[in-house]
Structure 1
């Protein structure tokens, strides 16, 4: 019976940890919906409301975007900046009304 109690306790602990991790894990869409981040004209994300979690999310997404842009640039004989700028235009166009985008003055504002 002692082994059964240990298994039950372990299972409950694992469930609690999984639940708490999912509560604190922020998706890009969550961050956008909450007005914490916005799309920049240069193809990357910008931070509107700084926190460690938001900064980490933006850094991760921007690194992934840079890798993807570099791959596209290499395959199409373009520069990284050219691809990022084109992606920035597309990202701004695709952003839903009410979410943050960078304006011509470099500020994150609601679209």
Structure 2
């Protein structure tokens, strides 16, 4: 039950950023990292600003989820990383276990 709630909250936390985020991911300038946060694949100020903004909002949500579920932030980050990478469509960038960017 706790994992179902956690996954539901993770999905909700991303929906507000869908348009800008999906465009940047489709262009291959942003990718999902193993820690549940976004990473910059192709550096530009606009991309960096978008990543900082979304990651700040994700961290707020992740902290809320951690508090509600009696988990550490690190535990939530691991689960979020697994979830976001799993949800990433083929053709977009993800971070692999060694920290390298690869196209899923």
Q: TM-score range by the shorter chain?
A: 0.7 to 0.9
Per the alignment, residue 82 of structure 2 pairs with 89
Question: TM-score, with normalisation over the residues of structure 2?
Answer: 0.80
For 2:98, which of 77, 97, 105 is the aligned residue? 105
For 2:78 and 2:53, locate their aligned partners in 1 and report how far apart those are by CA, in whole Å.
19
Larger Rg: 1
For 2:85 and 2:22, locate their aligned partners in 1 and report how far apart those are by CA, in whole Å.
15
- Name stretches of at least 5 consecutive residues in structure 2 with no aligned partner: 1-18
Please list the CA deviations of residues 30-82 of structure 1 after superposition, one character each: whole Å capped at 9, or x if unmatched.
Answer: 11000001000000000000101000000000000000000000001101111
Q: Which secondary structure state, in structure 1, belongs to the residue aligned with residue 102 of structure 2?
A: strand
Structure 2 residue 29 is matched with structure 1 residue 36: yes
Q: Which secondary structure state, in structure 2, belongs to the residue aligned with residue 27 of structure 1?
A: helix
Q: Which secondary structure state, in structure 1, belongs to the residue aligned with residue 97 of structure 2?
A: coil
How far the C-alpha of 1:84 sits from its partner, in A, is: 1.1
For 2:66 and 2:77, locate their aligned partners in 1 and report how far apart those are by CA, in whole Å.
9
Per the alignment, residue 41 of structure 2 pairs with 48
**RMSD (Å), alpha carbons:** 1.0
For 1:99 and 1:107, locate their aligned partners in 2 and report how far apart those are by CA, in whole Å.
13
Question: TM-score, with normalisation over the residues of structure 1?
Answer: 0.75
- Name stretches of at least 5 consecutive residues in structure 1 with no aligned partner: 1-25
How far the C-alpha of 1:108 sits from its partner, in A, is: 1.1
